């Protein structure tokens, strides 16, 4: 796994970072648990008057969901309205003289949410066994233009990659992604990358593992969970092409379920069936 070298990057002590993250996680979980307990007690004391607060609470949950699942202006608007709605709820509860335990529970819930968000954002700074590698001599990038609703095409990724000397292979509608990757290796590729969603990335990553070649992740999918876990810039696809040059290489763990490789998560049940559906691509939110 390679990523562009950051000239100002500084490694932190592994033990120090792990302790900080563990303490933060424990604090967040404790705040969430206490908030839940206080909320239940407060609701029981104020029922049925507490029903009045249900509407703003539902709106808060809805805005939080939109902030996480939407992009662009929709995410920005939801992100701005969310803290305003939380503040309005707190003021309303205080004005109505509700049980202070409810207000305290909301405050703890906000603290827990902020800590969890900070942990997610800072995870990319956790040091690893990364080391600097030289520019690839025969880099190959496979592009799935269907991923992310055509994110690679909108970014002009193919033209930019060819401009800097990267061989590009575009996955056709009925193409065999694994075979394309194998053919690229057979043709002499010494570094192989994939621009697509998490599923496409896993297929090409498995081929790279099989031949012990560096793999480049270009986040051209919808959610790009793997790229997010790695701390990559998901908004600038072309920036990821720098990983084919002088780059920082590191090894990451993968898993297998039913002989299929996955990079960062695996799903079963209804969600797995939805993702596998042919209608899924055309009905994504974002």
E strands present in 80-138: 131-133
Q: Return the pLDDT at 5.
A: 47
Considering only 143-147, 176-180, 229-233, 252-256, which range has the smallest mean pLDDT? Answer: 229-233
State pLDDT tens for residues 153-176: 999 999 999 999 999 999 988 889
- What DSSP string runs through 139-203? EEEEE-TTGGGTHHHHHTHHHHHHHTT-EEEEPPTT--HHHHHHHHHHTT-SEEEEEE-HHHHHH
CATH of segment(s) 131-283: 3.40.50.10330
User: What's the rounded Cα separation, in Å, for the pair 43 and 10?
Assistant: 48
Give per-residue burial for 243-279: e unless 16+ CB within 10 Å, then b.
bbbebbbeeeeeeeeeeebbbbeeeeeeeeeeeeeee
State pLDDT tens for residues 209-249: 999 999 999 999 887 888 888 878 888 889 889 989 888 88
Residue with structure tokens 């969603």? 197
Joined together, the tokens standing for residue 134 give: 């030289």
- Return the number of other C-beta atoms located less than 10 Å from residue 139's C-beta: 24
Phi-psi region of 148 (alpha: psi -120 to 50; beta: other; left: phi over 0): left
Q: What's the whole-number average pLDDT of the chain?
A: 79
Task: Reply yes or no on whether the pLDDT at 274 is more than 90.
Answer: no
User: What's the rounded Cα separation, in Å, for the pair 216 and 205?
Assistant: 8
**Which residues belong to CATH 3.40.50.10330 in the chain?**
131-283
The pTM (predicted TM-score) of the whole model is 0.58
Evaluate whether 34 touches 49 at the Cβ level (below 8 Å). no
């Amino acid at each position: 796994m390679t990523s562009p070298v950051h000239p100002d990057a500084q490694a932190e002590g592994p033990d120090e970072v792990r302790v900080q993250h563990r303490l933060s996680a424990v604090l967040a979980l404790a705040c969430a648990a206490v908030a839940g307990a206080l909320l239940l007690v407060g609701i029981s004391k104020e029922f049925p008057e507490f029903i009045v607060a249900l509407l703003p609470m539902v709106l808060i949950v809805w805005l939080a969901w939109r902030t996480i699942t939407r992009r662009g202006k929709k995410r920005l608007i939801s992100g701005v309205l969310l803290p305003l709605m939380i503040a309005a709820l707190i003021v309303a509860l205080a004005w109505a003289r509700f049980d202070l335990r409810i207000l305290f529970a909301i405050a703890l819930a906000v603290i827990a949410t902020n800590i969890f968000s900070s942990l997610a954002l800072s995870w990319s700074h956790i040091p690893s066994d990364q080391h600097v590698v030289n520019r690839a001599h025969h880099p190959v990038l496979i592009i799935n233009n269907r991923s992310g609703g055509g994110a690679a095409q909108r970014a002009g990724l193919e033209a930019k990659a060819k401009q800097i000397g990267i061989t590009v292979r575009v996955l056709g509608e009925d193409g065999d992604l694994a075979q394309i990757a194998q053919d690229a290796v057979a043709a002499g590729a010494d570094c192989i990358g994939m621009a697509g969603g998490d599923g496409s990335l896993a297929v090409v990553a498995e081929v790279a593992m099989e031949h012990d070649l560096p793999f480049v992740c270009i986040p051209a999918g919808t959610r790009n969970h793997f790229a997010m876990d790695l701390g990559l810039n998901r908004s600038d696809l072309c920036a990821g092409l720098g990983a084919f040059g002088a780059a920082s290489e590191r090894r990451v763990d993968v898993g297998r379920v039913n002989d299929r490789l996955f990079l960062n998560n695996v799903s079963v049940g209804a969600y797995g069936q939805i993702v596998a559906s042919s209608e899924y691509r055309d009905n994504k939110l974002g």
